Structure 1
């Protein structure tokens, strides 16, 4: 009876083989949403949820297949299952992986090549999602994305396929071959995974986005639809199918149109595309309820090619953009053309790679053990080659030849017009040129709120105390303030936290109030009052999103800074540091494309500096009898160069590098001495 219900549920779509034209159309809808979103089509800011549609479809189809196998054979041949999945997924995936690796080496900025090759190695080993989670990648706001970033979803599916058959096989015996029992198992998995999703959204958004435990519920919803007892026979469901189909399509369209990169995702928001896809699948259990759009010939064709389209569209879009520089966005007409071009490329891959190699292999690799050995060997070889190439590229320093004299720390700097051999830090090491407070655990990440102990620097026997208070733009001044502390006999205490300015202002991150920032600031103020320092230095990045959008940010910033200064201990001198220049792209990336003409990576001062914000801060500081110090003249003239002497001035778009901060120590010490 159970077997007949499952067969009826699938075959009622109108094909004796169980083929569902509506699901093929759903694949097309999903991949079109993703491609158009990545191409930059503004009216589909939530097209990325097409991946969630894919997850539900995959969970439905794989569970339907596995349960049929269990019902007919009583067990699952894991070797045969994994080999079939490998034949289905890997040929096209490996081909695109190799082609993308070659293209990345040839065309993306050389400084980004080692990281891209490491991403390729993780992809070859089926764990790209874990790498991106560890790296803290923000998929929805990444300005210089990896050419392999789209493989994250395949990593989740491959990891799910590795675990889910065993779970079903064990559960099948445990529940005495009851599909209702399997449905309950899937429901428990969905609830558990969704709970992890909500928890990680509060703890680490990258892990919530990229990890299998927080995403498995989406595939699990598809599994629940496949296991829904009597889904083909329940009169209520049968009567509701037309409404379910069109309600589901409306929900998917809503997620494409209403979501954006500011939507906290996955979280609760992911329920809309996931449950909507489940509705379409449920509604499609009868051919009469199929939406004509889904069953149309163009949608069926795109659905057939959807896997290859997904694989090729991303590198076709990102590699040209990385080659041009993310500071030079490609025009929409070009990105749309590149997205459209992915379709004929995908048809070739589907016709000559994906479809032929899906069939059982002949010759020496006809046996399952040999085929699986080949699959594993190819993956390991690809990973080893990618890692070896990454190391080889890292060893070759990117310079134009010749050396430059040290001149950082002088006013009105003239930028070095080439990348010198003695540049510090090297372009390859720029991102890691951070203050010691990172390694010491004294700079807090977004979710941390406790004040760490032992974050005191400078001469410990000093009688005076100085506090550095603010976000990562305060932390970037650590090297300079070490010089100030040593010269003025101060103990330097650091109180810094990512994205949390020392301004009395509630801000939002991803449209959610940054409550951890407020909690940390309260504790930081208590610490400052306990220290009762002689000097407090405030420095911050002012380009934030206020939780209250009813009042202009500039006004809220002025009021918040004024409030914070007024809360400093009586008798403490307060210094507000002007913010540093902002570049449209990390200078190291730009310089790696302009080794002989580094001037191309300079930014006009008026574009790099927020002059109105500086004026607001200066006025607030003066009103409170505090001191405003602006060292912009040590970083810019009419333009702000990326290289000053032999020093790469910035580690990314808007943070000073470690040697540049140290170079500003003497001028900062002189400025502080002059105002106190």
Structure 2
């Protein structure tokens, strides 16, 4: 396949959009640059394969070696460069996770790794150095699976386009459905849902390859029509219209598709269709524009630029307590391009040339490097991030105490996971900390209902129960007490139904005491990280500010009406739970840090404690509406204990006390923080039923709800 400069220009647009988005530029759909890359890969690979199959010269072994030469050397160099930066900047848990992702990247499985480990509790995506390798893994898996399948299908070349088109439609339908449902994370990371983008390019490459019009049957007819359309495009004054339309579609998608769009479904169609139009109809003003030297130069180094931008940005963010400024991000972008040019010049080009590096030495060198990366990753994972070698003892102690519940993965409902946890399948946690989903004649002694802020509290409260008693954990990620309104929280589209089911489950068991725990402030005022760009401030106008996206329905009354909806729903929920006379306690809302606790440990705190993190006014402003609601809750008989002094006093709110971190991220209490909360709640087990109540307890089951 001849070299096309306009394809280099498309690569430049793709990588430029991704880098600009990750650098904080106002380009809503810049993340779709990855989808553009997928279409290009499918086009180039399938077109090259089909041409080789027509001529009888295609070799699977030669194909895979060419792909390895193209991808692996620069990837291995980037991974190696991440290790010293991670050693200096990553907290133990992050260094541990870095090791795991290093192994997954070396084995072309990082998309599977990030699918299994990335959720609501994962550190922010912009601080994960190898997160971007998920897209490389998708392409590598395509390179492994597609060629053998195409070889089998090529026994009947005329049927190949129809097969590809059918597979494309099936993948697109699956992607659209999954991206709008509870398994959006699977749609984003896994190849079956991304296949349609690669197949769109592959179909274009096969139908427009030289000699395709000579094939018999439907494929030949389609290829002949495309060839005629291409000939018209070259002759006619209006022939550049398809390419121009394609470029307009791409730019519109990058500029207009919002980050919250369900991808990789129909929201990706403008970019995918636009790319296919430019590939199928070369020439014209769009091709001339894409062939401009600045774009083709960036296109040549686009692969290395994509490789280097994420770790450069991620480590810069880890190195600073505050978000990088636009000026710094511009400098980091320039550094990325410099590294990309060096990688292209001194790694990509030499390794792709068999004359400079024959196949056997290449395979030995590359294989040995990947094996070394796997070994280093396993060591980092098995040694807990090598914390004693990298941090002072007091820091190691704080890192070790910044722990979540060991049952987060197994007992907390997180939308998008393959195993959903409904009320009927909720965990019953015993005093030994072991969970079971099997009901028994003896009802639980206690229930915890809430969002992710209830997880550690549930675990700690369960450990305080007498032997033989259990606690049922009813927690759902990013789910407010949405009983009387339809939550539109994109992180949990099924929140309202889940809340209703949980309350109904508890109503059927009227003797079980309930502890309620939510991160009220985020639903009332939005995220804290976007509110303060520097150190905590006493200025409440900056704290409250405009409403920044609470997951409540839109209302013409604006923020005040949304907060009123939240308050009335919480009152309604408490009223229903208190109707049986059971004991109901609202856990106090913990303060929210403006940076992860690991950043405080690494960059701000000294050995001397207690470790201050926030002014009390910050927490007071974030929870003012909740405080105003407490008298109404107390009138219903709901207990509302105050925030434990471990978290706040008149002087400050703290992130750590007595050598123990009270958080494991920016806002979730650690096990140590949950212990302080549990002491404030008193002994909830005192009012638990002593004997079983078969009339209200559910039948035994191991199946999750």
TM range (shorter): 0.7 to 0.9
Q: Structure 1 residues 254 and 519 mapped into 2: Cα distance closer, same or farther (>3 Å)?
A: same
Alignment match, 1:586: 596
**Structure 1 residue 665 corresponds to structure 2 residue 684:** no
- Following superposition, the deviation at residue 237 of structure 1 comes to 8.7
Deviations 1:612-665 (A, max 9, x none): 232243144145343322224331123222221132211222122223323443
Deviations 1:294-319 (A, max 9, x none): 11111111111111111112222111
Partner Cα separation in structure 1 for residue 608 and residue 389 of structure 2:
12
What is the SS of the residue equivalent to 2:516?
A: strand
Aligned Cα root-mean-square deviation (Å): 3.2
- Following superposition, the deviation at residue 241 of structure 1 comes to 5.0
**Structure 1 residue 604 corresponds to structure 2 residue 619:** no
Contact 2:176 2:263 in 1 (8 A): no
Q: Structure 1 residues 534 and 277 mapped into 2: Cα distance closer, same or farther (>3 Å)?
A: same
**Structure 1 residue 136 corresponds to structure 2 residue 114:** no
- Following superposition, the deviation at residue 463 of structure 1 comes to 9.6
Give the counterpart of 1:629 among 621, 638, 641. Answer: 641
Contact 2:402 2:662 in 1 (8 A): no
Q: Structure 1 residues 399 and 657 mapped into 2: Cα distance closer, same or farther (>3 Å)?
A: farther
Q: In the TM superposition, what are the counterparts of 1:174-189 in structure 2 within 5 Å?
A: 175=156, 177-178=157-158, 181-189=159-167
Deviations 1:207-241 (A, max 9, x none): 22111222121111101111232364234994585
**Structure 1 residue 87 corresponds to structure 2 residue 69:** yes
Contact 1:458 1:482 in 2 (8 A): yes
Question: Which structure 1 residue ranges, 5 or more long, are not aligned?
Answer: 1-16, 403-417
- Following superposition, the deviation at residue 452 of structure 1 comes to 1.5
**Structure 1 residue 655 corresponds to structure 2 residue 668:** yes
- Following superposition, the deviation at residue 80 of structure 1 comes to 0.8
- Following superposition, the deviation at residue 71 of structure 1 comes to 0.3
Contact 2:488 2:552 in 1 (8 A): yes
Alignment match, 2:691: none
**Structure 1 residue 470 corresponds to structure 2 residue 466:** no
Alignment match, 2:78: 96
Contact 1:483 1:662 in 2 (8 A): no
Contact 1:649 1:659 in 2 (8 A): yes
Q: Structure 1 residues 114 and 371 mapped into 2: Cα distance closer, same or farther (>3 Å)?
A: same
**Structure 1 residue 18 corresponds to structure 2 residue 12:** no
Alignment match, 1:381: 372
Partner Cα separation in structure 2 for residue 524 and residue 156 of structure 1:
38
Contact 2:247 2:286 in 1 (8 A): no
- Following superposition, the deviation at residue 197 of structure 1 comes to 2.1
Alignment match, 2:399: 427
Q: Structure 1 residues 661 and 57 mapped into 2: Cα distance closer, same or farther (>3 Å)?
A: same
Give the counterpart of 1:348 among 342, 345, 356. Answer: 342
- Following superposition, the deviation at residue 94 of structure 1 comes to 1.5
Contact 2:446 2:684 in 1 (8 A): no
Q: In the TM superposition, what are the counterparts of 1:555-566 in structure 2 within 5 Å?
A: 555-566=564-575
Alignment match, 1:147: 129
Deviations 1:224-261 (A, max 9, x none): 11123236423499458533222222222222222333
What is the SS of the residue equivalent to 2:448?
A: strand
Q: Structure 1 residues 632 and 24 mapped into 2: Cα distance closer, same or farther (>3 Å)?
A: same
Contact 1:56 1:219 in 2 (8 A): yes
Contact 2:644 2:676 in 1 (8 A): no
Partner Cα separation in structure 1 for residue 466 and residue 121 of structure 2:
42
Alignment match, 2:498: 520
Alignment match, 2:251: 253
Partner Cα separation in structure 2 for residue 77 and residue 46 of structure 1:
38
Contact 2:86 2:95 in 1 (8 A): yes
Partner Cα separation in structure 2 for residue 346 and residue 243 of structure 1:
34
Q: Structure 1 residues 341 and 241 mapped into 2: Cα distance closer, same or farther (>3 Å)?
A: farther
**Structure 1 residue 215 corresponds to structure 2 residue 194:** yes
Per the normalisation by structure 1, the TM-score is 0.83
Partner Cα separation in structure 2 for residue 348 and residue 464 of structure 1:
63
Q: In the TM superposition, what are the counterparts of 1:288-437 in structure 2 within 5 Å?
A: 288-325=284-321, 328-362=322-356, 366=358, 368=359, 371-392=362-383, 394-397=385-388, 419=395, 423=397, 427-428=399-400, 430-431=402-403, 433-434=404-405, 436=407
- Following superposition, the deviation at residue 443 of structure 1 comes to 3.0
What is the SS of the residue equivalent to 1:252?
A: helix
Partner Cα separation in structure 1 for residue 22 and residue 441 of structure 2:
57
Partner Cα separation in structure 1 for residue 225 and residue 194 of structure 2:
25
What is the SS of the residue equivalent to 2:447?
A: strand
Contact 2:240 2:285 in 1 (8 A): yes
What is the SS of the residue equivalent to 1:627?
A: coil
Partner Cα separation in structure 1 for residue 232 and residue 619 of structure 2:
62
Q: In the TM superposition, what are the counterparts of 1:481-560 in structure 2 within 5 Å?
A: 481-482=461-462, 486=466, 492-504=471-483, 505-510=485-490, 514-533=492-511, 535-542=513-520, 543-544=522-523, 545-550=550-555, 551-552=558-559, 553-560=562-569
Partner Cα separation in structure 2 for residue 32 and residue 622 of structure 1:
56
Partner Cα separation in structure 2 for residue 63 and residue 643 of structure 1:
56
Question: Which structure 2 residue ranges, 5 or more long, are not aligned?
Answer: 208-222, 433-439, 524-549, 688-705
Deviations 1:270-306 (A, max 9, x none): 222222221222232xx23534321111111111111
- Following superposition, the deviation at residue 48 of structure 1 comes to 1.2
Contact 1:24 1:300 in 2 (8 A): yes
What is the SS of the residue equivalent to 1:476?
A: helix
- Following superposition, the deviation at residue 370 of structure 1 comes to 5.7
Deviations 1:348-372 (A, max 9, x none): 221222122211145xx63x45644
Contact 1:398 1:595 in 2 (8 A): no
What is the SS of the residue equivalent to 1:642?
A: strand
Alignment match, 1:272: 270
- Following superposition, the deviation at residue 597 of structure 1 comes to 4.6
Partner Cα separation in structure 1 for residue 453 and residue 133 of structure 2:
33
Partner Cα separation in structure 2 for residue 491 and residue 278 of structure 1:
58
- Following superposition, the deviation at residue 34 of structure 1 comes to 0.9
Alignment match, 1:3: none
- Following superposition, the deviation at residue 395 of structure 1 comes to 4.6
Q: Structure 1 residues 456 and 160 mapped into 2: Cα distance closer, same or farther (>3 Å)?
A: closer
Alignment match, 2:424: 451
Alignment match, 1:406: none
- Following superposition, the deviation at residue 458 of structure 1 comes to 6.5
- Following superposition, the deviation at residue 667 of structure 1 comes to 2.9
Give the counterpart of 1:45 among 14, 25, 28. Answer: 28
Deviations 1:425-464 (A, max 9, x none): x515734x3065x47x443222533521662656999999
Q: Structure 1 residues 140 and 274 mapped into 2: Cα distance closer, same or farther (>3 Å)?
A: farther
**Structure 1 residue 106 corresponds to structure 2 residue 91:** no
Alignment match, 1:571: 581
